[in-house]
Amino acid sequence: VWNNCLNFIKDNIQEQAFKTWFEPIQAIELTENALYIQVPSQFFYEWLEEHYVKILKVALTKELGAGAKLLYKIQMENAIGNKQPYTDQLPSTQRAPVRTQELDVPVQNKNPELKNPFIIPGIRNVKIESQLNSNYSFDNFLEGDSNRLARSAGLAVSNKPGGTSFNPLLIFGGVGLGKTHLAHAIGVEIKDLYPEKTVLYISAEVFTQQYVDSVRKQTRNDFIYFYQLIDVLIVDDIQFLSGKSGTQDVFFHIFNHLHQNGKQVILTSDKAPVDMQDIEQRLLSRFKWGLSAEIQNPDVDTRIEILKGILYRDGVSMPEEIIEYVAQNVKTNVRELEGAIISLIAQSSFNKREITLELAKQVVDKFVKNVKKEITIDYIQKVVSDYFQMDTETLCSKTRKRHIVQARQLAMFFAKKYTKASLANIGSEIGNRDHATVLHACKTIDNLIETDKQFRKYHDDINKKFSI
Ligand code: ADP
Ligand code: MG
């Protein structure tokens, strides 16, 4: 038992600390729910209590269950400093004092807030708020070709969390296509079917904040233990972790722990794993262990269904032709679609106007115009070649002339920055290159911007054209 505890602790604290504070400990007796350990001195005991009580609790609770107790025996130090091991043979007056550490201390934090969910004084009975939004359910997540795989994988996972090969389940796709909705729906469904399971929904951004906070407050271990208590962990928008190596590291750790223990992990991302940038390889490869399911832009029929769903939910009726008009004209994503129909309803009730095709046209027109014009790879090629006064064929040509190569690389760089296209897509659009060429181009440009003043000016000039 103690060795298992030690292994767990070793994985979670610094090597030096482990050597100093845990290697000298001897396990001396084990009863059904208590472990006796011997420590070298009173000071040692106090230090452990002060610094390592939480990890000891977690380790022991894992081994012995919730009622576990840890009892310390302190080695006696005699006058000349020789340490005598604890032994039952000693006269009782010389027996080392026994300290008892009750592990099932009362839970002080009955209702931990999201801001600080990792204050966990008693590992037992901690109630973790799931942070789920029950308005997002499977019932109101309409199915279409664009989301069928993701939706049914989500259902499968809900029925058997941790018990399918979809672990992790990674849902990816562009903004406003329903990733967050589906992620909540899975969590809500699991809570319905398995109320005893601890489910947590968290955005990668909040996760990162919590982690950074924990480092600052030196409660990194608590942070990790907290996450290790979860049965179903849902992390939304993991692309947010890119470039954040500390957070990736801690997430890797947590992920492994959960996965090894048959716990379910659900992730969402705005990109496929192959297109994720600045995420460690070992994490990426784990993301691919389970199933990656894409949600695509819904086709017009699904858009109509979604609109009907919203109208039904809000108890509004609307002529079929108007619904179709909206569905045909708002194509960007589901969020915009919802926005358009809601503003149409609002307009009509505000101004007490009947919902006519006329009104629908006005609202949708305004809506579509307000939506920021999407920057496409074509548009980027045009802007860049105009700026350098060449045509796009030259930009894309096979020439190795330096200024053309650099212009082409710059176009690739902007395409990566401003579009959601994959590196492979960017490469094939801009002169039929492969994804490695695009990656190389982006790095070259990063470098040039830093080192070459003139080049930076080119970049800044062109950049302005995209970021109005
Ligand atoms: P994402 O997280 O992918 O950016 P969201 O999950 O926030 O997108 O979805 C945006 C909005 O569109 C939400 O209000 C969501 O309820 C709605 N939505 C998306 N997909 C569907 C769908 N298949 N059925 C019903 N509503 C949907
Ligand atoms: Mg989202």
Q: What is the pLDDT of residues 125-141, one digit of tens each?
A: 456 889 999 999 999 99
Question: pLDDT per residue over 2-15, tens digit each?
Answer: 888 888 888 777 77
Give a yes or no: residue 127 inside a domain: no
Pair (450, 416) in one structural domain: yes
Q: For position 213, what pLDDT does the model report?
A: 92
Kindly state the average pLDDT of the residues 203-221.
Answer: 93
Kindly state the average pLDDT of the residues 42-56.
Answer: 76
Q: For position 231, what pLDDT does the model report?
A: 96
Pair (17, 92) in one structural domain: yes
The DSSP letter of residue 34 is E
Pair (288, 322) in one structural domain: no
Kindly state the average pLDDT of the residues 251-261.
Answer: 95
Count of residues in the chain: 468
Kindly state the average pLDDT of the residues 99-121.
Answer: 37
Pair (331, 272) in one structural domain: no
Decide whether any atom of ligand 1 lies within 6 Å of the 167 Cβ: no
Nearest to 383 by CA among 442, 433, 430: 430
> What's the CATH code of the domain at 265?
3.40.50.300
SS3 234: strand
Pair (320, 427) in one structural domain: no
Pairing relationship of beta strands 34-39 and 26-30 according to DSSP bridges: antiparallel
Decide whether any atom of ligand 1 lies within 6 Å of the 179 Cβ: yes
Q: For position 129, what pLDDT does the model report?
A: 87
Measured in Å, residue 139 CA sits from the centre of ligand 1 at: 13
Pair (154, 282) in one structural domain: yes
Pair (287, 343) in one structural domain: no
Give a yes or no: residue 17 inside a domain: yes
Q: For position 467, what pLDDT does the model report?
A: 63
> What's the CATH code of the domain at 408?
1.10.1750.10
Judge contact between 248 and 207, C-beta under 8 A: no
Residues in the annotated binding site for ATP: 176, 178-180
Average pLDDT, the chain: 84
Give a yes or no: residue 141 inside a domain: no
Kindly state the average pLDDT of the residues 324-351.
Answer: 87
Give a yes or no: residue 390 inside a domain: yes
> Who wins on pLDDT, 159 or 21?
159
Exposed, middle or buried by CB within 10 Å (0-12, 13-18, 19+), for 312?
A: exposed
Kindly state the average pLDDT of the residues 146-161.
Answer: 96
Kindly state the average pLDDT of the residues 309-324.
Answer: 89
What residue numbers bound the domain in which 265 lies?
Answer: 148-294
Measured in Å, residue 336 CA sits from the centre of ligand 2 at: 13
Q: Indicate the residue type of 218.
A: Q
pLDDT > 90? residue 1: no
Question: pLDDT per residue over 406-465, tens digit each?
Answer: 999 999 999 999 888 899 999 999 999 999 999 999 999 999 998 999 999 999 999 888
**Which residue's C-alpha comes closest to atom 1 of ligand 1?**
176
Kindly state the average pLDDT of the residues 98-106.
Answer: 38
Pair (404, 320) in one structural domain: no
Query: Which ligand has the shortest distance to the CA of 171?
Result: 1
Give a yes or no: residue 267 inside a domain: yes
Kindly state the average pLDDT of the residues 393-398.
Answer: 92
SS3 37: strand
pLDDT > 50? residue 82: no
Which of 81-85, 157-161, 394-398, 401-405 has the lowest average pLDDT? 81-85
Q: For position 314, what pLDDT does the model report?
A: 82
Query: Which ligand has the shortest distance to the CA of 340?
Result: 1
> Who wins on pLDDT, 300 or 87?
300
Confidence of residue 372 (pLDDT cuts 50, 70, 90): low
**Which residue's C-alpha comes closest to atom 6 of ligand 1?**
178
Pair (162, 183) in one structural domain: yes
Judge contact between 141 and 185, C-beta under 8 A: yes
CB-based burial, 277-291: b 16+ in 10 Å, e otherwise:
eebeeebeebbeebb
Pair (325, 366) in one structural domain: yes
Confidence of residue 244 (pLDDT cuts 50, 70, 90): very high
Q: Is ipTM beyond 0.85? A: yes
Give a yes or no: residue 123 inside a domain: no
Give a yes or no: residue 394 inside a domain: yes
Measured in Å, residue 153 CA sits from the centre of ligand 2 at: 18
Residue 369: φ, ψ to 5°: -70, -40
Number of domains in the chain: 4
Decide whether any atom of ligand 1 lies within 6 Å of the 330 Cβ: no
Judge contact between 173 and 270, C-beta under 8 A: yes
Q: Among 139, 181, 294, which residue has the most ligand 1 atoms within 8 Å of its CB, making it the best to mutate?
A: 181
Nearest to 211 by CA among 227, 187, 233: 227
Q: What percent of the chain has pLDDT over 90?
A: 55
pLDDT > 90? residue 156: yes
Give the residue from 235, 261, 294 where a domain finishes: 294
* Block residue for tokens 């609770």: 61
**Which residue's C-alpha comes closest to atom 25 of ligand 1?**
141
The span from the CA of 186 to the CA of 358, in Å, is: 40
Measured in Å, residue 45 CA sits from the centre of ligand 1 at: 54
Question: pLDDT per residue over 262-294, tens digit each?
Answer: 999 999 999 999 889 899 999 999 998 999 999
Measured in Å, residue 133 CA sits from the centre of ligand 2 at: 13
pLDDT > 60? residue 90: no
Q: Among 177, 270, 302, 341, which residue has the most ligand 1 atoms within 8 Å of its CB, making it the best to mutate?
A: 177
The DSSP letter of residue 106 is P
Query: Which ligand has the shortest distance to the CA of 175?
Result: 1
Pair (22, 68) in one structural domain: yes
Query: Which ligand has the shortest distance to the CA of 179?
Result: 1
pLDDT > 50? residue 195: yes
> What's the CATH code of the domain at 42?
3.30.300.180
Angstrom CA distances, 158 to 203, 231, 344, stand at 19, 12, 35
> Who wins on pLDDT, 79 or 58?
58
Give the residue from 294, 328, 353 where a domain finishes: 294
Give a yes or no: residue 137 inside a domain: no
Measured in Å, residue 416 CA sits from the centre of ligand 2 at: 21
Decide whether any atom of ligand 1 lies within 6 Å of the 181 Cβ: yes
Query: Which ligand has the shortest distance to the CA of 205?
Result: 2
Q: For position 9, what pLDDT does the model report?
A: 84
pLDDT > 60? residue 85: no
Q: Among 155, 334, 341, which residue has the most ligand 1 atoms within 8 Å of its CB, making it the best to mutate?
A: 334
Pair (338, 386) in one structural domain: no
pLDDT > 80? residue 98: no
pLDDT > 60? residue 76: no
Decide whether any atom of ligand 1 lies within 6 Å of the 334 Cβ: yes
Which residues have their alpha-adjacent CB atom under 5 A from ion ligand 2? 179-180
Q: What percent of the chain has pLDDT over 70?
A: 87
Give the residue from 350, 370, 390 where a domain finishes: 370
Q: For position 118, what pLDDT does the model report?
A: 39
> Who wins on pLDDT, 40 or 197?
197
Decide whether any atom of ligand 1 lies within 6 Å of the 161 Cβ: no
Decide whether any atom of ligand 1 lies within 6 Å of the 142 Cβ: yes
Decide whether any atom of ligand 1 lies within 6 Å of the 178 Cβ: yes
Q: Among 132, 240, 269, 335, which residue has the most ligand 1 atoms within 8 Å of its CB, making it the best to mutate?
A: 335
Which of 89-103, 137-151, 233-247 has the lowest average pLDDT? 89-103
